[in-house]
Amino acid sequence: MHPFFRAIGLVRHYRGTLIACLACSLLVALLWGGNIGALYPVFQVILHNRSLPDWLDDELALRRRTLEELQAKIGQQPVGQQVALLNRQKAAEQAALERLMQLRPWVQRFAPRTAFGTLLAVMLVVLLATAVKDACLVGSIVLSARLNQLITRDLQQKLFSHVLRLDPAVFSRRGTAGMMSHMYQDINAIAGGMSQLFGSAVREPLKMVVCLAGAAFVCWQLLLLSLVLAPAAAVLLRLLGGSIRRATHRLLRENMRLQEVVLETFHGLQVVQSFGMESHEEERFVRKSWDCYRRAMRIAFYSSLAKPITELLGLAIVFVALLAGTHLVLNQQTTLLGIPFSDRPLELAELLVFYGLLIGAADPARRLSDIFGAVHSGIAAAERFFPVLEMQPVITDPPQPRSTGRPHRKICFDRVTFAYTDNQPVLQELTLEIPFGQTIALVGPNGSGKTTLLNLLLRFYDPLSGAVRLDEVDLREMALADLRSRIGVVSQQFPLFNDTVFENIRYGSPDATLQEVVEAARRAHCHRFIEEQLEHGYQTVVGENGSRLSGGQRQRIALARAMLRDPEILLLDEATSQVDVESEQLIHKALEQFKQGRTVILVTHRWSTLSLADRIVVLEKGRVVGDGTHQQLIETCPAYQRLREWTMLKSA
């Protein structure tokens, strides 16, 4: 199914609104055609200075005469094809006569007796009908806007919920900027296209259909002749639609790149400023925004072409009808170039109404050209958007999850090989066993795979080969919620939210009471500064990523958050990297107490932190190259010695 139809399918949840919207559009269309049809009695009055009852009587007399003539002709003809044709004509005339006879009592009773009165009555009816039509138009516009908003909300919620369940490997295929672009630009374009579709794109074609049906009622042969040019318009508009869709794809891509530049620069604003790269970033932004501008202008150009195409071809259609119809009326003929057009010569009033209806059909066609670009942009955005909803997380719960006792007995990395991208192994046949209750420190040069090891334990990724196990259970066999509820994490990759200190500590433990939050804060040695240094204590909002706090304060609140969950495994990734000496000592004190009765894995560059560890594991190029106490490693592990020399040199 085309992605745009999937978007349309969402509307089934709002059937009531859709039906009301379509009903309003239908009424608008009927009243639009009806108002133009009302020209007929007006022309009859103006051209012949008659009232409606007079016109009806004349019309009845004419039909009766025609019937008698037909009857006479049939009587004179021998039985054959000609008689069959005459009989058909007679039946049609008879039906028309009966319809008019039914109308007669109503017209006699209600219609004004003078030409002027008839004109006035028709005008009043048209005025009333226009008021009703406009009320329906308001209804149709408001209801289609409602659908637009509801669909936007639906799609945004769908995408948000979907992304929440994507693992990092799948998410990183689009990245934050990409997802933001799907969330806002794509969805806006889809909803914009849909609102046009359920509003103008239903209303205007309905108006066209009603007018064309009216024109066909007057003389369908003439209508067919006028529409010979319509396929040319259809082909041109189709080609144009393709160009708009392609240009929209490019624009959305460029917009995403622009968003990437913006997000990246805003996130790293201090880096940009400290390196004096403001002009460079400005240049990058300007270049990307010009790219977007060029793409947007191309779409504007293509969209603008729709109008002249419909206008020119619409005019040509009316001209064809005008030429042919005028020829028939002026010469009182019923055939053109040997082709029969009508049973009897057309009246001038009929021809004028026919033109009125054609123009009435041309106006919606012109309006349709306005929404043409919006609908095609919506189609292109849907083609981009829906594949994202189909992206499946690689990391999922097994059908029949297994579990292990709480607390676990050991964590085991068994010959684990892992790579983020093809051909670049980050962990190679890594084997490591950590018994429950042990605190281990992972050290190693940057890029040696320390954080990756934690990512595998949290099951953000699965190993390419080998297995990570909790006791004997492979993590892939465990329910994700079961696994992650056992683990607390303090890491720069797990920032604070722009909320109160209280809510940040309670994050992940939604049922925790204030007392429990305060207790966790005390254990993380942050209660004092929260009470004494923060203006509103636990109700202080910490700013984006805790920007209103110092590095040490942030770390301790993050530690309190992890501690509140009372995890059996605690992971600390560079937890003390940005902190002052006082905070570091407080964190150490907190960890000294908290690590009792849990497994703790510390990733650190700080030698002082190593004193917390029972055991140090040295990683290099994704392999364990040293495992033991500080003293053992100093004596036996060259990599550890290098690391120590380098760090001491750096801090000297």
Contact positions vs ligand ADP (CB under 6 A): 172, 420-421, 426, 444, 446-452
Q: What phi, psi does 314 have (nearest 5°)? A: -60, -45
From the CB of 637, what's the least distance to ligand ADP, in Å? Answer: 17
Instruction: Please say whether the beta carbons of 542 and 530 come within 8 A.
Output: no
For ligand ADP, the closer CB: 50 or 450: 450
Of 349 and 456, nearer to ligand ADP (C-beta) is: 456
The answer to whether the beta carbons of residues 628 and 611 sit under 8 Å apart is no
What tokens does 331 get?
Answer: 């010469």
Q: Which is nearer to ligand ADP, 185 or 451 (CB)?
A: 451
Contact 351, 332 (CB under 8 A): no
Min dist. Cβ of residue 544 to ligand ADP (A): 22
DSSP class per residue in 56-72: HHHHHHHHHHHHHHHHH
Residue 357's contacts (CB-CB under 8 Å, 6 or more residues apart) are 33, 36, 37, 211, 212, 214, 215, 218
- Dihedral sign from CA coordinates of 116, 119, 122, 124: negative
Instruction: Pick the closest to residue 208 from 5, 408, 30, 395 (CA basis).
Output: 30
| 20 in Cβ contact with 143 (< 8 Å) | yes
- CB of 458 vs ligand ADP, minimal distance in Å: 13
Nearer to ligand ADP, 99 or 415 (CB): 415
Quote the least distance from Cβ 630 to ligand ADP, whole Å: 19
Q: Which is nearer to ligand ADP, 152 or 609 (CB)?
A: 609
Pick from 591, 565, 472, 584: nearest CA to 510: 565
Instruction: Name 241's Cβ contacts closer than 8 Å, sequence gap at least 6.
Output: 372, 376, 379
Return the number of the residue (214 or 626) whose C-beta is nearest ligand ADP. 626
| Inter-residue contact 17 to 154 (CB < 8 Å) | no
Helix or strand holding residue 449 (H, E): none
Query: Token pair of 189, please?
Result: 């374009």
C-beta of 453: minimal distance to ligand ADP in Å? 7
Q: Which is nearer to ligand ADP, 255 or 609 (CB)?
A: 609
Nearest CA among 471, 476, 524, 468 for reference residue 501:
524
Q: Among 182, 233, 169, 621, which residue's Cα sits nearest to residue 427?
A: 621
Three-state secondary structure readout of 386-441 = HHHHHCCCCCCCCCCCECCCCCCCEEEEEEEEEECCCCCEEEEEEEEEEECCCEEE
State the minimum distance, in angstroms, from the CB of residue 170 to ligand ADP.
Answer: 12
Evaluate whether 612 touches 592 at the Cβ level (below 8 Å).
Answer: yes
**Residue 37 or 444 having the CB closest to ligand ADP:** 444
The nearer residue to ligand ADP, 27 or 617, going by C-beta atoms, is 617
Least separation, in Å, of the C-beta of 165 and ligand ADP?
18
Minimum gap (Å) between residue 271 Cβ and ligand ADP:
18
Nearer to ligand ADP, 70 or 442 (CB): 442
Tell me whether residue 43 or residue 461 sits nearer to ligand ADP (CB atom): 461
* Min dist. Cβ of residue 419 to ligand ADP (A): 8
Structure tokens at 408: 């676990």
Query: Which helix H or strand E contains 442, and what residues bound it?
Result: strand 439-443
CA 154 to chain centre: 9
In sequence order, what are the beta bridge partners of 474? 469
Least spacing, CB of residue 504 vs ligand ADP, in Å: 25
**Rounded Cα gap, residues 48 and 55, in angstroms:** 9
Minimum distance, C-beta of residue 445 to ligand ADP, in the bound complex (Å) = 7
Contact 458, 489 (CB under 8 A): yes
Neighbours of 568 (CB within 10 A): 18
3-state secondary structure (DSSP) of residue 113: coil
- Whichever of 421 and 651 has its CB closer to ligand ADP, that residue is 421
Nearest to ligand ADP of 178, 444 (CB atom): 444
The residue (of 130 and 577) whose beta carbon lies closer to ligand ADP is: 577
For the bound state, the minimum distance from the C-beta of residue 159 to ligand ADP, rounded and expressed in Å, comes to 22
CA atoms of 460 and 167, how far apart (whole Å): 6
Min separation Cβ 459 and ligand ADP, Å: 15
CB of 420 to ligand ADP, least distance (A): 3
Instruction: For residue 622, give the nearest of 414, 417, 413 by alpha carbon.
Output: 417
Q: C-beta of 269: minimal distance to ligand ADP in Å?
A: 23
Contact, 133 vs 35, CB < 8 A? yes
Taking the complex as a whole, the smallest distance from the CB of residue 444 to ligand ADP amounts, in Å, to: 6
By beta-carbon proximity to ligand ADP, the closer residue of 268 and 401 is: 268
Cβ-based nearer residue to ligand ADP, 169 or 467: 169
Sheet holding 465-470, edge to edge: 425-435, 410-419, 465-470, 473-474
DSSP reduced 3-state for 603: strand
Backbone angles phi, psi at 403, to 5 degrees: -140, 180
